[in-house]
Amino acid sequence: ALQKLFDMVDEATDELVELQQELVRIQSVNTGAPDSGNETEVCRLLEQRFSAEGIPNMTLESAPGRGNFIAHIGGKNSARLMFMSHTDVVPVE
């Protein structure tokens, strides 16, 4: 089963690199100031990608530009998995 997962990643390498490049191009630097971060723009990219695959999703903003992305991928049993990450970056010093 683990090898199958590795094979899937290998097959999707070009797509994963393209997505990472798109994400890095988005200015989402969080300096700690309440109006920094611009996570909503990152969420919009994720919305497009997930919607293209038919995956229900939404972005909720705690403040303008401070989006949180939520998606739901249904399954055939009651098992649940929550994945949590962040969409902003910190400044390089």
Exposed / middle / buried, residue 40 (Cβ in 10 Å: 0-12, 13-18, 19+)? buried
- For 6-55, how does the pLDDT look when each residue is reduced to its tens digit (9 = 90+)? 999 999 999 999 999 999 999 999 998 888 889 999 999 999 999 999 99
This prediction's pTM: 0.84
HEC per residue, 41-76: HHHHHHHHHHHHCCCCEEEEECCCCCEEEEECCCCC
> What integer pLDDT is reported at residue 79 of this predicted model?
86
Beta bridge partners of 68: 60
Query: pLDDT tens digits, residue range 53-86?
Result: 999 999 999 999 999 999 999 888 888 888 899 9
Would you call 43 exposed, middle or buried from its count of C-beta atoms within 10 A (0-12, 13-18, 19+)?
buried
